[in-house]
Copies of this chain bind each other. A is one copy, B any other.
Amino acid sequence: MTDDESDTAPLEGSDAGLVHSRDHFFDLPFSFELGGTIPAFTLRYETYGQLNAERSNAVLVCHALTGNHHVAGRYTADETRPGWWDAFVGPGRPLDTTRFFVIGVSCLGGCQGSTGPSSANPATGHPYGLTFPQLTMRDMVHAQRQLMNALGISRLHAVIGGSMGGMQGLLWAIDYPDAVQNVVALACAARQGVQAIAFNEVGRNVIVNDPAWLGGAYYGKGPGPEAGLAIARMLGHVSYLSCAGMERKFGRARCAQSILADRMAQAGSASPFKPEFEVEAYLRHQGLSFVKRFDANSYLYITKATDRFDLTEGARSLEDVLIPVRARVSVIGFSSDWLYPPAQNREIATALLLAGKEARYIEVETDAGHDAFLLPCKTLFQAIRQAL
């Protein structure tokens, strides 16, 4: 994901200002869909705007693979990078904090404040590592639901999210039909496609084959599989961009020699296979930045959860699966997204309509690929406003 490369950022409203995160500790066991339990868990979350007296204006934002609870605003006035969807959230913005109580939550299984493989198992005092139970998208949604209950929100005005976050929005509508009024699912599919599985599997292999992974038990024993995780991220990043977007942005431009020297020092690259093209230096930079903020085991668990996501598994049809839905569902696709391509986005809306539900599909024309859902643009802003 990139949230720093917008072409058309319409300035509207104002930002969410100074924000802070909170941790909710659940002192009760969590049972996972595929088996296994943990004795207790924490979810880190952040809110913007005010919950109204009727408790009816909450909007849950579900993040993508490597996102987190920090959706908008800044922790300190001089922080240079705000939350990952900052342009979307604030007074007068599409997720208008004068109207909505917006909530971001880091997913169960992650590594950014909510309980995951890098968290200490209370029974042992040591990080779970691979003893953390196998994870599904439904587990993450189930945990979110428990947080909403804890916050006294029995019915969400909306669940909105892109990529994995969109999958979660669909599960909310199916599993808790009375608890959600609107769903906005961006850049997602009713099931993970085989090419997306293949890319994730390559990334997982890179991590698992990094000797510093140590069978997942690398905590407290050095930096962990940083090289492997960085490379997995490089590959992920290619799948988030579009071919046309990469050609426009990088083409075959060579690295400036000064940048090259810096990047080489940073990457510890062995000549003669140093970054030669700009796109190579860019991807290495993305990979190296990523390892500072992400845990390799969480990457394994969460990619597996997305690969396993298939609404139609064991079902007769997608329409059948969608029968419980009561929410109004807006599906938003992006023309150059080849990870969850428009045909897969559209399929969701079509099945909802065939099942007699209130649904619509909006396609945003862009060369920004899958990552387009992170980038402010007028069409997207308008689509979200209408959906909410």
Residues of A within 8 A of B (CB): 130, 134, 191-195, 197-199, 201-202, 204-206, 208-211, 215-216, 227-228, 231, 234-235, 238, 243, 246-247, 250-252, 269-273, 275-277, 279-280, 283-284, 287, 300, 304, 307-308, 310, 313, 338, 341
Q: Are B252 and A192 in contact (CB under 8 A)?
A: yes
Identical subunits present: 2
Q: List 7 A-B contacts (CB under 8 A).
A: A191-B252, A194-B250, A195-B238, A198-B246, A198-B280, A201-B234, A209-B231
Give which listed residue, B216, B234, B307, contacts A205 with CB less than 8 A: B234
Give which listed residue, B134, B208, B273, contacts A304 with CB less than 8 A: B273
CA distance A211 to B212 in the complex (A): 10
Most central of A193, A208, A308, A338 by chain B CB within 10 Å: A208
Q: In the assembled complex, which residues on chain B have CB atoms less than 8 Å from the CB atom of A338?
A: 243
Q: In the assembled complex, which residues on chain B have CB atoms less than 8 Å from the CB atom of A231?
A: 202, 205-206, 209
Q: In the assembled complex, which residues on chain B have CB atoms less than 8 Å from the CB atom of A277?
A: 194, 197, 201, 307
Q: Are B272 and A130 in contact (CB under 8 A)?
A: yes
Main secondary structure of the interface of A (DSSP, over half): helix
Complex: chain B residue closest to A225, CB-CB:
B209
Q: Are A202 and B234 in contact (CB under 8 A)?
A: yes
Give which listed residue, B197, B208, B273, B304, contacts A270 with CB less than 8 A: B208
Q: Known contacts being A201-B234, A201-B283, A209-B210, is A194 close to B251, with CB within 8 Å? A: yes
Q: Are B252 and A197 in contact (CB under 8 A)?
A: yes
A220 to chain B, nearest CB (A): 19
CA distance A307 to B201 in the complex (A): 24
Q: In the assembled complex, which residues on chain B have CB atoms less than 8 Å from the CB atom of A287?
A: 205
Q: In the assembled complex, which residues on chain B have CB atoms less than 8 Å from the CB atom of A209?
A: 210, 227-228, 231
Q: Are A310 and B206 in contact (CB under 8 A)?
A: no
CA distance A228 to B280 in the complex (A): 18
Complex: chain B residue closest to A300, CB-CB:
B273
Q: Known contacts being A194-B247, A209-B231, is A216 close to B270, with CB within 8 Å? A: yes
A93 to chain B, nearest CB (A): 33
Q: Are B270 and A134 in contact (CB under 8 A)?
A: no
Complex: chain B residue closest to A231, CB-CB:
B205
Q: In the assembled complex, which residues on chain B have CB atoms less than 8 Å from the CB atom of A270?
A: 130, 208, 215-216
Q: Known contacts being A235-B235, A277-B194, is A202 close to B283, with CB within 8 Å? A: yes
CA distance A134 to B226 in the complex (A): 29
Give which listed residue, B272, B279, B304, contacts A198 with CB less than 8 A: B279
Q: Known contacts being A202-B235, A205-B284, A235-B202, is A195 close to B273, with CB within 8 Å? A: no
Most central of A191, A269, A272, A273 by chain B CB within 10 Å: A273
Q: In the assembled complex, which residues on chain B have CB atoms less than 8 Å from the CB atom of A208?
A: 269-270, 273
